[in-house]
Amino acid sequence: MKQSLNKFDSKAVKAGENKILNGLAPLSSRFKNRELDNCYGWLLRILLIIAISGFIFIDFIFAAPFVGATDNLTFPAGVPTIEIMPSEGPVGTHVFVRIINHQVNKQVIIVFGTGTTIGSSTIVAAKATTDSTGYAVVDFDIDIWPAGRYTLLSDDGVNKIAGGFKVTPSMSLGEVVSGFVGDIAVVNGQGFAAKKLVHLYFDDTKYVTGETDDKGRFYDLKLTIPPCPRGNHNIKAQDSDSNAQTVVYNVRQKMDISPTSTSVNSSVTLIGTGFQSIKDVIIYFDDKEISSVQTGSDGGFTASIKVPSCGDGVHKIKVDDRVNKAFQDLTVSSALHVNPQTGHIGMLVGAQGSGYRPGFPVSLSYDNIKLEGTSVDGTGSFTYNFKIPVSRSGAHVITASDGINIKTVNFTVESTPPMVPLLNLPADGGRITKDPHFEWSPVSDPSGVTYTLEIADDTKFSSIIMSQANIVTSYIDITEESKMLPGSEKPYYWRVKAVDLASNESGWSSVQSFYKGHTIFTVLSNMPDWVKWILIGLGMLLFAFMFFWIGHTIRKLRSINEDIEDDDEEAYDDKDYGYNTSSSNYARR
């Protein structure tokens, strides 16, 4: 049968062109989604335009015989055929089937599947009605089938013409075709072998294993992008029947810092990925080079830097391998440190501030005690030295403020108590006759020390007669005018403890007793030497006088006695005494 090319149906040609364009649209879309984001996108667009124009031209030349609009083109007589374009592709491929030399004006069923009849293993993919020449064109999308070769059969009721189509694997990363080391790529695939293990490879290294379903699909296999240099890398999915598909994933450079907010002189860790392999990377802080590090074969590096002196606020950290750069913001806040952080009263302490406003005055305080101020230098730092004032042991707050930035830090005053004093004077059980003088062994303490003295009239100190605190020497004199210690035959008791300027107290000393008041012995023992010599002289004079008086008295008594004897003898001589011999008695006559 011949038909002429002199006439053709323009509407039919236009319809054929639209079908070609519609058929190529999904292909264009797939290419666009996969490739147009990279550097070859515009070149692919131009090639696609040329290809589409070529298909339109071919359709213009050959479409007329198929729509019955020409008389001069002759088909192979009596030979029904089908033409399948394309003959292979992934699930979703838009397929065109040309039906040639079939029964005229008959419905033709296109069957797709593994069998040659309509049944459980096949589906009706499309239907068309031939024209008066036995020609028709149908198109359809390949449904979800596992990988393999399938039969495509045209059936007009008389002729059953078979062709073939091969389903190939396809995989998708969604819209994410680039990222960083450590990102997670979610991979979906179809057109693989049914119910088989499927493995994900990154540059030929296997990382993830999954399994396909009965239609050769797998979903949401997660692949963590491993350390690698910057550039394009292949992600491949391959099942156990060696069906494989590869997509390109572009890895970009990246730098992370930890922490993202800190203070001057603190350490910051930099972790870089996706840089050039084995290259020196320069590290900048606010565009000033401060360090360098070399990448490994995987394009990664780890470095640690100390934050240089700077004001508070956001600062820029940059790394550069001379091809690739990465940036991160670091927030620097003001900070206050003291050195040392613990000590005693009177210790010299240095306060260092950083991250303050350059050129502004800084006020400082210790608890509620205001200290002398200072000023911030051009790098946002200051230093101020001061002595710890008298305060209790424990933590105390040092504050520094420039009017905006206010920072505090603790200083801990030592809590070690001083040693217990040893009592010296008065001696235990001694007697005091003068103004009381108490003395004990001195105690040393880094915070400085004072003493507390207590006097009581009982050993338990339940009745305290006198208590004196804040004694700065290791002795004290109590004047007699105080009348606090009247003389008594009963003993008094005394004790002492040491207290440092941080209010740390020692234990009480041992208790000793003393007596107050004079005795004859204390009077004599306390006399001056010259008084003693006078008294000795007077005593000797008194002794001499008494000796002379006693001697004189004795002599006088002897003289009186002698006189009486003389008088008696004279009287005896002058008187006549009778003597009666017969009588035992004498009688004076």
Q: Tell me: the pLDDT tens digits for 307-332?
A: 999 988 999 999 999 999 999 999 99
User: Distance between CA 515 and CA 182 in Å, rounded?
Assistant: 89
Q: Where are the beta strands (DSSP E) in 300-416?
A: 301-306, 313-320, 325-332, 335-339, 342-343, 348-354, 361-366, 369-370, 374-375, 382-387, 394-401, 406-413
What 8-state DSSP symbol labels residue 227? Answer: S
**Phi, psi torsion values for 145, nearest 5 degrees:** -135, 150
* 3-state SS class at 63: helix
pTM for this model (two decimals): 0.58
Which regions of the chain carry the CATH code 2.70.50.50? 254-332
How does residue 568 score in pLDDT terms, banded at 50, 70 and 90?
low
Which regions of the chain carry the CATH code 2.60.40.1930? 170-251
User: Distance between CA 96 and CA 526 in Å, rounded?
Assistant: 140
* 3-state SS class at 187: strand
Q: Do residues 541 and 533 make contact, with C-beta atoms less than 8 angstroms apart?
A: no
User: Distance between CA 433 and CA 486 in Å, rounded?
Assistant: 10
H/E segment holding residue 524: helix 520-525
Give the model's pLDDT for residue 2: 33
Q: Which residues of 72-106 are buried (b: 16+ CB within 10 A; e: fewer)?
A: ebebeeeebebebeeeebbbebbbbbbbbbbeeeb
Give the model's pLDDT for residue 551: 80
Cβ atoms within 10 Å of 391's Cβ, excluding its own = 17
Best CA proximity match to 333, nearest among 380, 269, 290, 373:
380
Give the model's pLDDT for residue 426: 92
What 8-state DSSP symbol labels residue 580? Answer: -
**Weakest-pLDDT range from 1-5, 145-149, 173-177, 438-442:** 1-5
Place of tokens 């950083």: 354
299: left (phi over 0), alpha (psi -120 to 50) or beta: left
Residues 517-556 pLDDT 10s:
765 555 555 667 777 678 778 888 888 888 888 887 887 7
Q: Do residues 390 and 450 make contact, with C-beta atoms less than 8 angstroms apart?
A: no
* 3-state SS class at 276: coil
Overall average pLDDT of the 139-156 stretch: 94
The β-bridge relationship of strands 374-375 and 361-366 is: antiparallel
Residue 168 has pLDDT above 50, yes or no: yes
User: Distance between CA 54 and CA 87 in Å, rounded?
Assistant: 19
Q: Do residues 317 and 283 make contact, with C-beta atoms less than 8 angstroms apart?
A: yes
Give the model's pLDDT for residue 26: 45
Give the model's pLDDT for residue 582: 46
Which regions of the chain carry the CATH code 2.60.40.10? 423-525
Residue 118 has pLDDT above 80, yes or no: no
* 3-state SS class at 280: strand
Residue 11 exposed, middle or buried by CB count within 10 Å (0-12, 13-18, 19+): exposed
Greater pLDDT, 491 or 19: 491
In sign, the C-alpha dihedral spanning 226, 232, 233, 235 is positive
Overall average pLDDT of the 409-428 stretch: 95
Residue 39 has pLDDT above 70, yes or no: no
Name the superfamily (CATH) of residues 335-413.
Neocarzinostatin-like (2.60.40.230)
Which regions of the chain carry the CATH code 2.60.40.230? 335-413
User: Domain 254-332: which CATH class?
Assistant: mainly beta
H/E segment holding residue 287: none
Residue 107 has pLDDT above 90, yes or no: yes
Residue 34 has pLDDT above 70, yes or no: no
Overall average pLDDT of the 197-225 stretch: 96
Give the model's pLDDT for residue 297: 96
Give the model's pLDDT for residue 554: 84
Give the model's pLDDT for residue 575: 55
Best CA proximity match to 176, nearest among 241, 223, 237:
223
Give the model's pLDDT for residue 478: 83
Amino acid identity of residue 402, one-letter, is D
Overall average pLDDT of the 153-174 stretch: 93
Q: Output the six-digit token pair for 215.
A: 């239609």
Give the model's pLDDT for residue 119: 67
Residue 146 has pLDDT above 50, yes or no: yes
Tell me the C-alpha to C-alpha distance, in Å, between residue 254 and each of 205, 302, 440, 490.
22, 12, 74, 91
Q: Which CATH architecture has domain 423-525?
A: Sandwich (2.60)
The β-bridge relationship of strands 288-294 and 301-306 is: unpaired
Q: Output the six-digit token pair for 202.
A: 């990154």
User: Distance between CA 331 and CA 199 in Å, rounded?
Assistant: 43
Cis amide linkage into residue 446, ω under 30° from 0: no
Give the model's pLDDT for residue 286: 94
User: Domain 170-251: which CATH class?
Assistant: mainly beta
Residue 51 has pLDDT above 70, yes or no: no
Strand order in the sheet with 301-306: 254-258, 267-273, 301-306
Tell me the C-alpha to C-alpha distance, in Å, between residue 183 and each of 199, 227, 348, 544.
19, 10, 53, 127
Residue 340 has pLDDT above 90, yes or no: yes
